[in-house]
Chains A and B, each alone.
Chain A
Amino acid sequence: MAAKSTARAERRPGPLVYTAMALLVLASLFPLYWTFVVASNDNSVIGQSTPPLVPGGHLFDNFSRVFDSVEFWIAMKNSLIISTTTAVSNVVLSTMAGFAFAKLRFRGRNLLLGTVVATVMVPTQLGIVPLYMMITKMGLFASVSAVILPSLVSAFGVFWMRQAIDENIPDELVEAARVDGCRLIGVWWHVVLPGVRSTASVLAMFVFMTAWNDFFWPLIVLPPGTGGTVQTVLSQLAAGYFTDYSLIMSGAFLGVLPLLVLFVAFARQIVSGVMAGAVKG
């Protein structure tokens, strides 16, 4: 793949392409820069004839005002628990199912795999009313479990891991382990998981980010008064009870920061993950 693409990409970009790309990156990054600018300024610079464009020195004052206004740390803790748990469970359950679909023979396998693929198209957000009733009846309202349970595993993850296992684990390796008397769960643990470690960790990152950014469902079952997540608390900050722009943007900055750090650290893997997603489709 790599060899093919370098051989192919012979179009040499002119200055026009570089200019266009630079403008594009500017447009991509400006809102984040501006968030930082407002977050680091005193609220008094807002409302002057031009918007503030230079960072100020009030970032940490504003942060502490965020902590005073909303239960930010509780929300942070909840978001971390939710994102970490779903990331781990998605990796475990997706690699298990992916292993079965890629390497094992069982009755109804193709039908079941087809069903998994089809479920990607189902807009499950629309079942929100009964889902809420169910969660309430289970006594899970206002608990992190209410957010975690529906996200334990996704069709996207299963399908992706099936692909990765199919490509990276030779059949002979699975067979050899089984002839040695290894049970399937052992094969999964000793052969499959190490074999797809890199793809599985990209999946973990994706699930973590998706869970971190999720809003609709947490807003309903874990609203701010009950602890909330980073996103619901941020929406509360912005909901107009405060018209303090520095405060709001500080909250936004704090909410975005963890993922930006994660992104900068793993940009290459995340980019390759998105591009791998395309080939699957």
Chain B
Amino acid sequence: MAVQTAEKAPPAPKRSAGGAPEKRGRKRAFGFDRKVTPYLFVIPFFVVFGVFGLYPILYTFWVSLHDWHLVNGELGFVGLDNFTELFHDPDFYRALRNTLSIFVISTFPQLLFALGIAWMLDTKLRARSFWRSAVLVPNVVSIVAVGVVFSQMFAPSDWSVSNWLLSLVGLGAVDWPANVWSSHLAISVMVIWRWTGYNALIYLAAMQAVPRELYESAELDGASRWTTFWSVTVPSIRPTIVFTVVISTIGGLQLFTEPLLFGGVNGQEGGSDHQFQTLTLLLYKYAFVQQNSGYASAISWVLFLLIALMAVVNLLLVRRISSTR
């Protein structure tokens, strides 16, 4: 991520004192081109990010301090009332628990699987392009399609794919959406299915950059493959692991589409007892179903702070774990 500094400046155009007027005009145009054009090149990004990214987030805080209806607009300043109400709202705490639970169940197995898969891919496999592409296929399937298809596979009936598989090993059918744990598990399977291969390829790229000598010396020390994996490979790709954890945190805490589709009609409720209603579903419900912008904005900000907090905690945790190995 190191920012490269200053390449050589282009050789300054020779100053021909008192050149022809036409030449001087060209030189001025050249100066303008050199001084201003770089800004013109980078400014579209900052405009787009500022207008459609940063400004809405900041404005969300302003809205959260008001009684604000999506269509009717601002209905008066209420200070922190929306937040106070939110912190007394059992739906909020349930959504918070659900979000964290699904995040944990989906992220940690996913990243561990991804590490294992990357380790397998980082060998002299035959037809290696095939394996690499095959593990990435789920990632090109849209989250909506994943939600639709897996909701059928986890349908509460005896004949759904999941319950049929359970029956093959002699287990009874599960009413997946009805319970807290089973619904969280089903939703996590969707996330794991779509993202494991993607993360595996990211780890693979990092593993390929690990210097060969490290493995050779571990081998000379008589380390087993397992030890080598944990004491050489994992610490060497630590920055990449940190990166995936942070990205997964940002994405995982905003989980929306999978539970929405798993919920079927009135998906924003997250099940009959809101047993899999996530914070973003709650945000969506208040913002666009109830049209209570002020309250929805308060949820946004709490979620924003939560993401920032979790990202930092994860960062420290992962640093610590992989450095003590």
Chain A residues within CB distance 8 Å of chain B: 1, 4-5, 7-13, 17-18, 20-21, 24-25, 27-29, 31-32, 34-35, 38, 46-51, 93-94, 96-97, 99-106, 109-110, 112-117, 119, 121-134, 149-150, 152-153, 155, 158, 166, 171, 174-175, 178-179, 181, 183-185, 188, 209, 212-213, 215-216, 220, 230-231, 234-235, 237-241, 245, 248-249, 251-252, 255-256, 259-260, 262-263, 267-268, 270-271, 274-281
Contact = CB atoms under 8 A, between A and B. Distances in A.
A127 B57 contact: yes
Interface string B194-236: 0001100111111011101001000000000100000000000
Contact of B215 (A8, A100, A174): A8
A268 B176 CA distance: 37
Interface stretch (B46-54, B98-106, B177-185): B46-54
A47 B159 contact: yes
Contact of A131 (B10, B52, B202): B52
A43 to B, nearest CB: 12
B246 interface: yes
Nearest to A182: B33
Interface residues of B, number: 117
Q: Which of A105, A124, A179, A268 is most buried by chain B, counting CB atoms within 10 A of its CB?
A: A105
A139 to B, nearest CB: 15
Majority secondary structure, A binding face: helix
25 contacts: A9-B122, A9-B123, A13-B124, A21-B117, A21-B120, A50-B159, A100-B42, A104-B41, A123-B307, A130-B60, A134-B51, A150-B52, A150-B53, A181-B30, A216-B284, A230-B142, A235-B147, A256-B140, A259-B140, A275-B204, A278-B201, A278-B203, A278-B240, A280-B1, A281-B240
Given A9-B122, A96-B41, A271-B136, A175 B11 contact: yes
B261 A48 contact: no
Contacts, number: 330
Contacts of A259: 140-142
B24 to A, nearest CB: 14
B16 interface: no
Interface string B17-33: 00000000010011001
